Structure 1
Amino acid sequence: MPRYLLAIFAFAAITQSGCAIHGQARCPSGEQASTNELTYFGTAKPGGVVSPEEWASYLAKSVTPRFPAGLSVWPAAGQWQSAQGSIVKEASFVLSLVYTPSEANEVAIRALVSEYKLQFQQEAVLRVKSHVCVSL
């Protein structure tokens, strides 16, 4: 087996075992197991950018109805590599959601990502999911 394949398999095994450990961790007394989802939405689209008004409308119609308990949003600037290999630099929005892990919430996240990609002709929306413990 080529060395690079062995390295890839070793890396995958280590990172996946880490996910299993964190996913099964118990929260201290007074805290609740939750998911923190950071979702990165690019704003460049054919013919322009997603305007603040379009973003506010998307939040009101697609995100808030699915996650009415609360959310945080902030503007960001970043870059990513397209499917064609070019580096794309653009303004973006980061959406942070903290929710109880469930199949219904996973379906809701996938739906709002799909809606954004379709509505604003996006190639990708980045999701970063972490298992966390929360308290109020």
Structure 2
Amino acid sequence: MGHTKEPTMIFLRRLPMVLLLGLATGCASQATAPGASTLQGDAAHPAATRGWVETRLYFGLGLVDQPDGGVSEQAWRTFLDQEVTPRFPDGLSVIDVYGQWQGKQQAAPERLRSKQLVVDYPDSPESRAKIEAIRAAWKQRTGDQSVLRVTQPVDVSF
């Protein structure tokens, strides 16, 4: 009988720790599961967010050391309203960035005030054509030689 009481006593002494670990493990899985982004898409519409890409476009607004020259903030917003938003009305992001660009005929890079446009969208030929139309519109409007484009696959969730 002495042998059966001793293991039981050890177990009973460790029971609070076992329960605590079990509760902590259960809470951790409960805390991350319901609200956490799974990068698998919307649980209600999982197929709706498959096959998406993210495109980042970089627009030079003018030289850093000439803040009154180049494209004004108002002119940028007008471009955004006329060329970008109608093509991607569901949403986008614009970030102020510092950029450098060295053209083929330049000895040194130019330091530029810049905007980065970020658009996430279902990948399709139509959407990619919209991106190219935005780039072409900017080059036509400003005379710039280039609008850098970076497109990569993304997993999204809303």
RMSD in angstroms over aligned alpha carbons? 1.8
Equivalent residue, structure 2, for 1:44:
62
- CA–CA distance in structure 2, aligned partners of residues 82 and 119 of structure 1: 18
- SS of the equivalent of 1:50 reads coil
Q: Which amino acid in 1 is paired with 2:58?
A: Y
> How far does the alpha carbon of each residue in 1:26-78 deviate from its partner, in whole angstroms, 9 at most, with x for none?
x7464523110000000128x92100000000000000000000000011111
Give the one of 92, 104, 107 matched to 1:83. 104
Q: How many residues align?
A: 109
Q: Which has the higher strand share?
A: 1
- CA–CA distance in structure 2, aligned partners of residues 48 and 120 of structure 1: 12
Equivalent residue, structure 2, for 1:107:
129
TM-score between the two structures when normalised by the length of structure 2: 0.64
- CA–CA distance in structure 2, aligned partners of residues 131 and 93 of structure 1: 22
- CA–CA distance in structure 2, aligned partners of residues 69 and 28 of structure 1: 20
Q: Which amino acid in 2 is paired with 1:55?
A: W
Equivalent residue, structure 1, for 2:74:
53
Query: Which has the greater radius of gyration?
Result: 2
> How far does the alpha carbon of each residue in 1:64-99 deviate from its partner, in whole angstroms, 9 at most, with x for none?
000000000011111022121431111100000000
Which residues of 2 match residues 14-53 of structure 1 at below 5 A? 28=40, 30=46, 32-44=50-62, 48-53=69-74
Q: Which structure 2 segments of 5+ residues have no match?
A: 1-38
- CA–CA distance in structure 1, aligned partners of residues 92 and 104 of structure 2: 30
Q: Moved runs in structure 1, 4+ residues, more than 2 A?
A: 27-33
TM-score between the two structures when normalised by the length of structure 1: 0.74
Q: Which amino acid in 1 is paired with 2:147?
A: V
- CA–CA distance in structure 2, aligned partners of residues 77 and 109 of structure 1: 22
